[in-house]
Amino acid sequence: MNSKNKKLNSIYLFFIILLIIFCVGPLIFLTCLSIYSGDSILNFLQNYTHIIENKSFIRIFCNSLIIAIASTIITLNLSIMASYALTRRQVRFRKSFLLLFLSISTFPSVTILSALYMLFRALNLRDNILILIIIYTVFSLPFAIWTLAGYFKRIPVELEESAKLDGCTDFSTFKNILLPLISSGIAFSTILIFIYCWNEFIFAVTFTTTDLSRTLPVDISLFPPSSGYRMGELCAESLISSIPLIIIILFCQKKILSGLTSGSVKE
């Protein structure tokens, strides 16, 4: 049995290593391309200094960061409120509400591009990071509410009742008992909302025209196509904008995996 296991392991090991190369290899290749600048190996940071010296890059990076953080915070507050009310309070049509949120969470964003464009044009909001903050907030709300509702549902009602008997008000029960219990759900949705806001492209490319509101994905998409001209800078910028995501993978991968496993994606 043991020897058979070992034999199998060597085949599996091969596939697993292949898998890792396929997944992480491109990132390493990207790093190599970003370091390579053509003239000398010694100034390997040339591409990076080029980008950071460029004033618009700092602005764009800040835009991305502000948009992602602002929409994550707003979404979290709103979705915690809504999912709390939908699961811990008596509300008519709560099932329909939850179903509505679930079905909207897979909404194809391309289809309302024209209407949203006209809406924000009518509001005279143009090239403003506010537009993207609003859109990202609304588009991540259904997912966040649905996920957090799943976490809230798992807390037994008795816990809340006994807290009330001990003299806790609704708010202090919520703050001191419920909130700590759903902290892993909050962490999971924070991570996913942030990733969504940081990576989103189609709204960003529609609603941003200048550096005032442009985000990193749009800036990267504006690099000339195919290799050659400014390729090193493209790779360097890609790598810089992946840094928050790499940090997330390194430090929060357990949260993501456990969040996915705990059935928030499943029905």
Partner 1 sequence: MRKTNLCSEEKNALFLIAPSVILIMLVILIPVVYTFYCSFSNKMLVFHINQFIGFDNYKFLLQDDRFWHSFYNNIYFSSIAVIIELFLGLGIALLLNLKFRARTLVRAAILVPWIMPTVIVAKFWGIVYTFLFSYINTLLLDLNIVNINLNWREIPFLAMSFAILVDVWKYTPFMVLILLTGLQVIPEEQYQAALVDGANKFQRFINVTIPFILPNITVALLLRTIDSFSSFSIIYVLINGGPANSNEIMPIYLFKMLFQNLQFGYGSAIAVILFICILIISSVYFIFLNHRSKGENR
- Restricted to residues 150-209, the positions that interact with partner 1 (CB under 8 A) are 195, 198-199, 201-202, 206
Number of residues in contact with partner 1 under rule CB under 8 A: 89
CB atoms within 10 A of CB 194: 20
Quick one: 22 or 42, whose CB is closer to partner 1? 22
Find all residues with CB under 8 Å of 3, minimum gap 6, and list them.
none
Q: Which of 68, 129, 186, 216 binds partner 1 (CB under 8 A)?
A: 216
Based on the shown chain and the rule CB under 8 A, indicate whether residue 225 belongs to the binding site for partner 1: yes
Quick one: 147 or 241, whose CB is closer to partner 1? 241
Distance of CA 113 to the CA centre of its chain: 21
**Region 20-59 residues binding partner 1, contact defined as CB under 8 A:** 20, 22-24, 26-27, 29-30, 33
Asked whether 197 and 72 are in contact (CB, 8 A), the reply is yes
Tell me which amino acid residue 167 is.
G
Considering only the stretches 36-44, 147-155, 161-169, 227-235, report the one whose residues sit in contact with partner 1 under the rule CB under 8 A: 227-235
Quick one: 55 or 266, whose CB is closer to partner 1? 266
> Would you call 69 exposed, middle or buried from its count of C-beta atoms within 10 A (0-12, 13-18, 19+)?
middle
Q: Distance between CA 55 and CA 105 in Å, rounded? A: 37
Based on the shown chain and the rule CB under 8 A, indicate whether residue 2 belongs to the binding site for partner 1: no
Based on the shown chain and the rule CB under 8 A, indicate whether residue 226 belongs to the binding site for partner 1: yes
Q: Which of 190, 208, 213, 241 binds partner 1 (CB under 8 A)?
A: 241
Quick one: 6 or 42, whose CB is closer to partner 1? 6
Q: Which two tokens stand for residue 123?
A: 């509001």
Distance of CA 31 to the CA centre of its chain: 23
